[in-house]
Amino acid sequence: MAFKLILTYGNPTNRVFMGCFVFRPNSKKTKISSAADYFSKGNTDSEDSELRFDTCQLLWKQIKCETEQLQEDLNKKLFDNLITFLRKSHSDFRENKTEWASQMKSSEIPTAAVVLGVNVTDHDLTFKSLSEVLHDDVTPFVVSLRSKECPGIKHLLQKLTVQLMGCHIDVDSSEEEEHSKISPNRIRCSVASLIDWYRNITKVHYDLKKTDTETPCKKRMFSSRHLPSPPVVVIFKDMESFTTKVLQDFIIISSHCIHEFPLVLVFGIATSPMIIHKLLPHSVSSLLCIELFQSLSCKEHLTKAIDKLLLTSQFPFKLSEKVLQVLINIFLYHDFSVQNFIKGFQLSLLEHFYSHPLSVLCCELQEARKRVKCLSHSQCENIRRLPSFRRFVESQVSNKQTVLLTDDECLKETTQALLQDLDTYHENYFPILRCLHAFTSSLPKYPLGKQITELYCTCLEKKVWETEEYESAIQLVRMLAKDELVEILEKCVEIVASSPVKDVGIPSEKLEQYLDRFRNLEEATDDQEESISSLKELQKKTDLYHLQKTLLEMKESRRLKKLTKFEMLRFEVVDFIDGLVRNYLVPPELQTLHEVMYFSAADTLREHLNAAPRVALHTALNNPYFYLKNESLKTDAGCISNTAPDICIAYKLHLECGRLINLVDWLEAFSTVVTAAENPNSTVKDEIDDAIHARFIRAVSELELLGFIKPSKQKTDHVARLTWGSC
């Protein structure tokens, strides 16, 4: 049986009545819907919804695995450097033999300042991975602290003690059993207790090691990869947010016992390492032996994430230019969070498979061919309604058009061929895109962008060869030196050779031939020798007339001279690359059936990700029916319903006022609206009861909390309005 507490209101002027009643629980268990049921619920076209959901789930698992592997690869160098620092600083600090130890004072604490960047929302994942790596390879004693959990030194020591004792509880001894029975709030939090605990735990470890007896608990505690005397690593996740006094007190206390308690600090920094010296005075910062570690910038991280997720034919799902631009704008102008970008990518994937019935074909080519054979007549009609397929039908002869629009079997065969063409298009598209980026990424002023993401967005939006930026880039490429061209061609050969290109129109042999021809060019051509001889003639002594004549002859010869072998070969290479760009970097919107693979609902994505709190608040307060769906709340425009919540009534009344609002007039208007249905014959002069007065005060306080009004210093019985307009 269950008990429920019920509050009942009588007359507004009477007291509140409270009662406790007994209810029997419902014997019928509520059936919990699965994610697939939610996926199908409310979908106007639920055909193949389960198959679409399974395909979406499988594709997301592959994408998630790829992103996690990317995160691990990007953090590997940073983590390896941190592990090396921890091993070196700890061993050198304990033995006091090497140069590192001789540079440190006896009271200095080894400190790693890790600059992670302004993408604060990604720091949790980085520190979580770092804690796992340190716990596996360096020490079992890793503590992570947040500023909001440590407002004072007492709370910091308590968190430190609790997390360390949590590691200690698993050890099999009577002393630890006694500690495990004590609640964390009653643990004595002091540095002396931590020193005693560390001495005991390492002593137990060495005793077990000498006797060659290993217990399961000990194996969980220490591993062969841990250091002999493992340090205690304390990670300050958001170092800038910690109170200065808390940091100072902790560092000073720790410096006095560093010989008995091997402590290593890790500062997570979002801005600059100089923040350490701004927060800590010299007397405290001098107690730290700091080494700086820099992680990969969030922009480079995003570029690599887009490279793994979008600039590959591995995943069939793609984003249109507008959708990709929405995600990039949110990244650049809001949080710089790569994790939020990936979440936006996941939302796009889910929305595509939920809203598009033909997304069932967004899978591997072989599987898509099998699914095409099983398409129903309604799905065939969906294909015929696609704008890209309609353009394809219009380009066919009349007999072929009739067959495609009436015969489902012919349509399925054509769809299989079109999906094959779309797959080949993607396999050719990305190698050529990378080759074009190799040619243009080092040009002055970067006409097509420095990052490949910028070039990709341009190619998605329109035909890149029709833009002025492309013409400018091609002109600059035609002036590249020999060594620059050789280096770029080597990159292009590597790109094309490592990609699964099916089309014979992009042979790596052609690029290798150009590369060999550049390498075999003679250092000095005949034209170069002629220019050298003409320069020697200019250096001879002559009068002004002969000098002018010689300069005119040189100018005329330059105008009429033939191109050198190098210049001819350079033009030939540029024309070859330009031809590849025009053939293979056609925008995806011009490809038939691109709607199957590309998600283009940018407005839907922006609505989900770009919050508009001001509009939402105005809608909720001005039209509560929009959210509550109560028929009694429906009103005509400009009317105020007495059944609406109090805050809605007060809000709509305050919209009719000017900059200053008289509280007495506001209260009388509020009372008039509230009591209109209860007593139609009541007047403003009637006394306002205490209940209505209290409801009005609460509504005004809520509006002040939301930022619509504030107290006014001009008149004590007035409030100032902070917002203007209807929304």
Task: State the CB neighbour count (10 A cutoff) for residue 260.
Answer: 14
On whether both 572 and 625 belong to a single domain, the answer is no
Between 522 and 415, the higher pLDDT residue? 415
On whether both 181 and 209 belong to a single domain, the answer is yes
Q: How many separate domains does the chain show? A: 4
Between 323 and 135, the higher pLDDT residue? 323
On whether both 534 and 509 belong to a single domain, the answer is no
pLDDT exceeds cutoff 80 at 534: no
Which of 296, 325, 356 corresponds to the end of one domain?
Answer: 296
On whether both 637 and 672 belong to a single domain, the answer is yes
> Tens digits of per-residue pLDDT, 608-633?
888 788 888 888 898 888 888 888 88
On whether both 332 and 273 belong to a single domain, the answer is no
Which of 250, 265, 296 corresponds to the end of one domain?
Answer: 296
Is residue 70 assigned to a domain? no
Rounded Cα gap, residues 603 and 607, in angstroms:
6
On whether both 440 and 589 belong to a single domain, the answer is yes
pLDDT exceeds cutoff 90 at 409: yes
Q: DSSP string spanning 513-531? A: HHHHHHHTS-SS-HHHHHH
Tell me 118's DSSP state: S
Is residue 515 assigned to a domain? yes
Is residue 698 assigned to a domain? yes
| Mean predicted confidence (pLDDT) in 450-470 | 94
On whether both 235 and 332 belong to a single domain, the answer is no
Q: Which domain holds residue 511?
A: 301-524+567-599
The whole-chain average pLDDT of the chain stands at 81
Rounded Cα gap, residues 710 and 727, in angstroms:
18
> Tens digits of per-residue pLDDT, 56-109?
999 999 999 999 999 999 999 999 999 999 888 766 545 544 443 444 455 689
Is residue 90 assigned to a domain? yes
pLDDT exceeds cutoff 90 at 546: no
Between 336 and 175, the higher pLDDT residue? 336
Per the CB < 8 A criterion, the answer to whether 169 and 176 are in contact is yes
Is residue 60 assigned to a domain? no
Cα torsion 340, 343, 344, 348 to 10°: value is: 170
On whether both 705 and 625 belong to a single domain, the answer is yes
| Mean predicted confidence (pLDDT) in 590-603 | 94
How far CA 637 is from CA of 525, 617, 640, 670, in Å, comes to 85, 17, 9, 18
Which of 276, 296, 316 corresponds to the end of one domain?
Answer: 296
pLDDT exceeds cutoff 60 at 540: no
Tell me, what's the pLDDT at 405?
Answer: 92
On whether both 309 and 418 belong to a single domain, the answer is yes
Between 240 and 180, the higher pLDDT residue? 240
pLDDT exceeds cutoff 50 at 524: no
> Tens digits of per-residue pLDDT, 580-591?
999 999 999 999
Indicate the angle between helix axes 338-355 and 298-309, nearest 10 degrees: 30
CATH number assigned to the domain comprising residue 656: 1.10.10
Is residue 316 assigned to a domain? yes
pLDDT exceeds cutoff 80 at 204: no
Lowest-pLDDT choice from 10-14, 545-549, 627-631: 10-14
| Mean predicted confidence (pLDDT) in 205-223 | 50
Is residue 144 assigned to a domain? yes
List CB contacts of 645: < 8 A, sequence separation 6 or more. 624
| Mean predicted confidence (pLDDT) in 666-682 | 77
What does DSSP say about strands 288-294 and 109-115: parallel, antiparallel, or unpaired? parallel
On whether both 310 and 164 belong to a single domain, the answer is no
Lowest-pLDDT choice from 10-19, 239-248, 444-453, 602-611: 10-19
Is residue 45 assigned to a domain? no
On whether both 363 and 283 belong to a single domain, the answer is no
Alpha helices in 499-589 (DSSP H): 508-519, 526-539, 544-560, 565-584
On whether both 288 and 322 belong to a single domain, the answer is no
| Mean predicted confidence (pLDDT) in 306-320 | 94
| Mean predicted confidence (pLDDT) in 334-347 | 93
